[in-house]
Structure 1
Amino acid sequence: MLLKDKVALVTAGASGMGRSGAELFAEHGAHVYVVDVNEAAATEVAGGIAEKGGSASAAGVDVRDLDALKRLADQVVADHGKLDVLYNNVGIPGAAGLDMTVEEWDTGLEINARSSFFLSGYLTDALKAADRASVIFTSSTSGLVGSPFSPMYSFTKGGIIALVRSMALALAPDGIRVNAIAPGSVETPGLPAFFRASPEETEKRKAAFFAQIPLGRAAQPEEIAQVALFLASDMSSFVTGVTIPVDGGLTAK
């Protein structure tokens, strides 16, 4: 019970890495806000947590809507008066290549970077009200090295790494830790979107990409969640301002 009596919020919490993180946080005693643009799916995840004896709330929020994010932050404060763990997990692959519209660029930037920045700001007082709060961002190995699939994705995920360093310094006097996870390939429903090909070609590209990973496979969402739990808990009480690659050794080469 590493998060007993803690309050946690997970964006993109209805599937993939976010769902695994939300479920694991609840398993370790946290009340979890499962936030997702798909409200029905978020409600299903929160219901599943409750059925297993955990505690969770669902919120259907489009993170591009800053007013909705502010209302969400206000609701957390009204419900609990604090937030112990903010897991800024939301992100999309975005448009490929350099030939994209302004609207596609803006959408990627809004979802991958702007939303997490402003949500963190809206919740800063709630984080200060907690005892040794933790903020976690989902970056990517594409923020550490170039992505052959989407320069925009690399740009936003690299920006997250810089943001984490700055926020860690700014919030350290308040005892708030800020870190990031940089997953490589993870077996989630969204993984095929990164390969931008037909189902048959996607499987070929996946196999070729996985062959480059020293451990020879993609991660499972639960493996990312375990690192998130480490960063959320007091096990990482002296860790701040860092990005942890969880990539099977891909960036070690």
Structure 2
Amino acid sequence: MLLKDKVALITAGASGMGRAAAVLFAREGAHVIVVDVNDQAAKDVVTEIEAAGGKAEAAIVDVRDLGALKGLADHVRSEHGVLHVLYNNVGIPGAAGLELSAEEWDLGIEVNARASFFLSGYLTDQLKAAGGASVIFTSSTSGLIGSPYSPLYSFTKGGIIALVRSMALAFAADRIRVNAIAPGSVETPGLPAFFRIDDPEEIERRKAAFFATIPMGRASQPEEIANVALFLASDLSSYVTGVTIPVDGGITAK
């Protein structure tokens, strides 16, 4: 088992890429803290993990609330003492275009950047106490090559890449590795939100047209992203820090 007896915390762990990672990490021996704003969905993931013989717990947190994030860190400290893996996975598409309100701007920043920055800071002592830890961020290919449809999303995801480099340098001496995953298109319940339309048939047409631009001709599955997260979480990547790995079917190779 690659994560035997490790403690791992995953934000947005109740669906999509986060859920896939939670199930995989638990299968590999980790005690997984499933953090999500959706109470029932988080508990369902915990039930699934426990039914398979794994260990998990749900933490219901709105990541926009810094007090709640601090409370989450306090819980990790009091209940576990250490944290071996922090997977900052939470994110939203955010508002499209350049003509957005200040409230829409703030929401994108709060969820996609601020939450992960502060949670990482609140958990620093627990990561150091692990004697070797991994911090993983979910960025995006939009942070690498830009997106004409959502500059705010690209801005936040590009910022994550810069943050990863800085944190990797700051924490290297503490044996804390910091890396990011940059998914391209992923088949998750949140994928239709990126098309910003409600017509199911039109969504399918746009998905097909978009997938045709991907060299591998399809979107990824959440489990394919989780496999890379497991690599970064485990000792298989013991000398890897400060990098962003595209998992995009070849989009950034063009």
- Give 5+ residue unaligned stretches, structure 1: none
- Aligned residue pairs total 253
What is the aligned partner in structure 2 of residue 155 from structure 1?
A: 155
Structure 2 CA distance, aligned partners of 1:137 and 1:160? 7
Report the residue type matching 1:216 in the other structure. G
Q: Distance in 1 between matches of 2:42 and 2:142?
A: 27
Deviation, 1:149, is: 2.1
> Could you report, residue by residue, the CA deviation over 1:161-202 in whole angstroms, capped at 9, with x for unpaired residues?
000000000000100000000000000000000011222221
Contact 1:149–1:195 (Cα < 8 Å) also in 2: no
Alignment of 1:187-226 (within 5 A): 187-197=187-197, 198-226=199-227
SS across alignment from 1:144 = helix
Looking at structure 2, the residues matched to 104 and 9 of structure 1 have their Cα atoms a distance apart, in angstroms, of 27
Structure 2: distance between partners of 1:146 and 1:244 = 16
Shift of 1:131: 2.4
Within 5 Å, give how 1:1-253 maps onto structure 2.
Answer: 1-197=1-197, 198-253=199-254
TM score, norm. by length of structure 1: 0.99
Ranges of 4+ aligned residues in structure 1 off by more than 4 Å: none
Please list the CA deviations of residues 61-105 of structure 1 after superposition, one character each: whole Å capped at 9, or x if unmatched.
000000000000110111110000000000000011111110011
CA distance in 2, matches of 1:90, 1:125: 21
SS of 2:227's equivalent in the other structure is helix
Q: Once the 2 structures are TM-superposed, how far is the Cα of residue 225 of structure 1 from its aligned partner?
A: 0.1
CA separation in 1, counterparts of 2:14 and 2:149?
25
CA displacement at 1:214 relative to structure 2: 0.6
Amino acid at match of 2:231: F
CA contact (8 A) 1:165 1:242 kept: yes
Counterpart of 1:180 in structure 2: which amino acid? A
- Secondary structure of 2:157's match? helix
Give 5+ residue unaligned stretches, structure 2.
none
The code of the aligned residue for 1:241 comes to G
**Overall identity of the aligned pairs, in %:** 78
- Counterpart Cα distance in 1 of 2:33 and 2:148: 34
Root-mean-square deviation over aligned CA pairs: 0.6
Aligned residue identity for 1:205: R
